[in-house]
């Protein structure tokens, strides 16, 4: 069984613990991956009509569907295609005309093929390790001052002291009182 099959069920990341050295990191990045991918329509069998990004936005977001209801929206894009044409129930035309107009901008392929999940930040659509690294690297601030205080010429104890000063983490009476009240809140609610 593939790792993907063990950690993703019905397009949601599982919540129970898996004994793995990388599981906690995968769990933390799952939303980053889903936020930065989109589906290229093939036959529509793999794409959730409401919860996947396949027409420029996620339909559930577009129509402000509450999060607790989204898990019940399980129809696929394929459910709305018949003989190579979009086919919506009359109720959708009547009440969600905006949705029908949005969907009809997406071209249905002439030949059936598999749906493809594509990475937004790649020319090919594939997520390569180098591209993932560059994407994550962009998220970190460039802290020029860090190079000045974390320097091989400065003892680490002095660098730590400067870092603590810059982040207001020096154990002053005031900061210790704040820490005590935070600890009490976590212990006693």
pLDDT at 77: 93
> Under 8 Å CB-to-CB from 75, ≥6 apart: which residues?
48, 49, 50
Cross-strand pairs, 82: 85
pLDDT at 49: 93
At 13 the three-state DSSP class reads: strand
* Residue 48 burial (C-beta neighbours within 10 Å; 0-12, 13-18, 19+): buried
How many of the other CB atoms lie within 10 Å of CB of 188? 6
Give 10-25 pLDDT, tens digit per residue. 556 655 656 666 666 7
Per-residue pLDDT tens listing for the chain (189 residues): 344 444 455 556 655 656 666 666 777 777 888 888 899 999 999 999 999 999 888 999 888 899 899 989 999 999 999 998 898 888 887 777 788 788 888 888 988 899 998 988 888 888 888 887 888 777 666 667 777 788 888 888 888 888 888 877 787 777 767 666 555 544 554
Which pTM was predicted? 0.61
Is-contact 100 88, C-beta < 8 A? yes
Q: What are the phi and psi torsion angles at 37 (to 5°)?
A: -130, 160
pLDDT at 180: 62
Per-residue DSSP letters for 58-111? BHHHHTT--HHHHTT---BGGGGEETTEE---HHHHHH-HHHHHHHTTSPPPSS
């Amino acid at each position: 069984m593939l790792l993907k099959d063990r950690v993703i069920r019905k397009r949601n990341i599982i919540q129970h613990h898996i004994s793995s050295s990388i599981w906690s990191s995968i769990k933390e990045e799952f939303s980053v991956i889903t936020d930065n991918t989109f589906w290229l329509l093939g036959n529509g069998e793999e794409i959730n009509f409401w919860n996947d990004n396949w027409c420029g936005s996620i339909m559930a977001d577009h129509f402000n569907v509450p999060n607790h209801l989204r898990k019940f929206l399980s129809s696929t894009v394929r459910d709305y295609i018949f003989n190579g044409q979009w086919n919506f129930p009359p109720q959708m035309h009547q009440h969600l005309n905006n949705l029908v107009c949005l969907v009809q901008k997406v071209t249905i392929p002439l030949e059936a093929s598999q749906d493809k999940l594509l990475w937004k930040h790649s020319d090919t659509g594939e997520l390569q390790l180098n591209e993932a690294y560059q994407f994550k690297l962009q998220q970190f601030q460039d802290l020029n001052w860090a190079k000045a205080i974390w320097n091989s010429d400065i003892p680490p104890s002095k660098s730590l002291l400067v870092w603590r000063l810059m982040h207001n983490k020096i154990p002053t009476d005031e900061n210790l009182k704040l820490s005590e009240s935070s600890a009490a809140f976590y212990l006693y609610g």
